[in-house]
Homo-oligomer: A and B are copies of this chain.
Amino acid sequence: MDDTAAMPLDAETKVSERPADHEAELRLWLRLFTCTTLIEGEIRRRLREQFDSTLPRFDLMAQLDKAPAGMNLGELSQRMMVSNGNVTGLAERLVTQGLLERRPSPTDRRAQLVSLTAEGRRAFRAMARTHEGWIAEMFAGLKPGEIESLMQLLARAKASARKVAAAGESK
């Protein structure tokens, strides 16, 4: 019935509410997660209802819209931060819809080059314009200064988390 090992240091550990050591961080994570999930869910819902599309498809198209010459699937998966296999399936569905075009890379017979079709580009631009409005709507309750503060604090949080995540993946 002693507690946490050795307890090397730092007073800090108040006692009374023992378990709560990192309560502030836990609550922050919960709030961050809830906030993101709330907005994300609404965006997904609207993409589906208004454009019969999905967030991953939108993301993929956004990457290609920035690269008119097209790119291969590996590069796409890196930029989207998802697995290779994921992009394979996503691209396939977009090709079926006529929004995406694949052709073999001229320099590497293992690789495929994908790019938006004219229709894909048109469809994406329409979605993107509307999407931008949705996001503005979601954050309409924040003042410009609050947006700026949030940006900076999230940058700090991201840097902090990135350090931890990066450490693990070198492995």
Contact = CB atoms under 8 A, between A and B. Distances in A.
Given A20-B132, A81-B37, A132-B22, A137 B164 contact: yes
Given A141-B156, A164-B137, A150 B28 contact: yes
Interface residues of A, number: 55
A77 B21 CA distance: 29
Contact of A33 (B34, B36, B42): B36
B25 A147 contact: yes
Contacts of A81: 37
A67 interface: no
A133 interface: yes
A35 B154 contact: yes
A34 to B, nearest CB: 7
A22 B135 CA distance: 8
Interface in A1-55: 20-22, 24-29, 31-42, 45-46
A22 B133 contact: yes
A144 B33 contact: no
B42 A144 contact: no
A84 to B, nearest CB: 16
A42 B161 contact: yes
A109 interface: no
20 contacts: A22-B132, A22-B136, A24-B151, A25-B136, A25-B138, A26-B136, A28-B147, A28-B154, A29-B39, A31-B158, A32-B32, A35-B161, A41-B165, A42-B161, A45-B168, A140-B164, A146-B153, A146-B156, A150-B150, A150-B157
